[in-house]
């Protein structure tokens, strides 16, 4: 069994035994607020523990950093761009899950010196699994994802602005809506990347770039012919100085989205400075 298959099997087992039995079945006290506006559930924590143990058993000798462990011990993020590393998001879209609605997902990335080299995104509800290895392309349920060559006018762009101030959010959406078909974001990075891979969306803008939210998706996009950069146009890198992310299904779509969003009147420089 390949490494890709072993990680995929681990994710499916954890989703089946830990995540799905608690969907719409959380008991009082099994959801708590871990920071203002953000919740965590018992499913997040138990799934991360199971994934951590399973990845450790693979014997690669890579550090393992999960979202919930990092929330408890922020020092785990020190030197995150150095050496081999597993990144775990055990339950992305926790607020959706806790409210009993989709979408939510599970993400794992294998990283070498800040660059993703392996990526897995699982939708526990449908069982859909995206996987990529650097230099080997990307797949959805084992079928290769072809490069996007078609385009729409206007292009569809999902804009993640919920961590901005109300004024910044209104300013950005006002400017973006002049030239783009602005789509609602699913409040789940796993689903945001899946929508780019399927062609449902053409581009996605993110302000907050916690490493477990984007490492897997970034590799899947680039391995399927897309482009993922920081707001300054530099290539996405975990632990680097870049801020924000703009991801698009191909270079032409990235160029058009960037031309519409990275203009002074959109206010992204102010949003970046605040974050």
Q: Nearest-CA neighbor of 227 among 240, 245, 243?
A: 245
CATH 3.20.20.100 for domain 3-144: no
Instruction: Compute the half-sphere exposure of residue 71: CA atoms within 13 Å on the CB side of its CA.
Output: 18
Q: Which pLDDT tens digit goes with each residue over 57-112?
A: 999 999 999 999 999 999 999 999 999 999 999 999 999 999 999 999 999 999 99
Class of domain 156-274: alpha beta
Residue 274 scores a pLDDT above 50: no
pLDDT value, residue 263: 92
More confident residue, 150 or 141: 141
Residue 251 scores a pLDDT above 90: yes
- Per the CB < 8 A criterion, the answer to whether 203 and 155 are in contact is yes
Q: Where are the domains of the chain?
A: 3-144, 156-274
Q: Is this structure's pTM higher than 0.85?
A: yes
Whether omega for the bond prior to residue 103 falls within 30 degrees of 0, making it cis, is yes
Q: What DSSP character marks residue 235?
A: B
Q: Nearest-CA neighbor of 134 among 248, 39, 189, 215?
A: 215
The H or E element spanning position 115 is strand 115-122
């Amino acid at each position: 069994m390949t490494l890709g298959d072993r990680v995929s099997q681990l994710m499916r087992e954890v989703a089946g035994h830990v995540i799905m039995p608690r969907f719409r079945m959380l008991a009082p006290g099994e959801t708590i607020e871990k920071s203002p506006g953000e919740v965590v559930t018992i499913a997040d924590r138990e799934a991360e523990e199971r994934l951590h143990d399973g990845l450790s058993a693979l014997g690669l000798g890579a550090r393992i950093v999960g979202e919930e462990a990092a929330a408890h011990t922020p020092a785990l993020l020190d030197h995150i761009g150095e050496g081999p590393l597993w990144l775990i998001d055990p339950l992305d879209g926790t607020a959706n899950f806790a409210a009993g609605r989709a979408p939510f997902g599970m993400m794992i990335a294998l990283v070498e010196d800040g660059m993703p080299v392996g990526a897995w995104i699982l939708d526990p509800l449908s069982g859909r699994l995206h996987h990529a290895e650097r230099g080997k392309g990307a797949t959805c349920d084992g079928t290769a994802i072809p490069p996007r060559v078609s385009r729409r006018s206007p292009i569809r762009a999902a804009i993640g602005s919920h961590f901005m101030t109300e004024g910044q959010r209104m300013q950005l959406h006002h400017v973006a809506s002049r030239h783009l078909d602005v789509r609602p974001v699913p409040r789940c990075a796993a689903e945001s990347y899946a929508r780019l891979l399927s062609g449902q969306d053409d581009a996605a803008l993110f302000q907050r770039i916690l490493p477990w939210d984007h490492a897997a998706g970034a590799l899947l996009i680039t391995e399927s012919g897309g482009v993922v950069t920081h707001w300054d146009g530099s290539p996405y890198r975990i632990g680097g100085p870049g801020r924000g992310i703009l991801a698009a299904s191909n270079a032409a779509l990235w160029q058009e989205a960037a031309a519409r969003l990275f203009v002074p009147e959109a206010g992204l420089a102010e949003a970046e400075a605040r974050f």
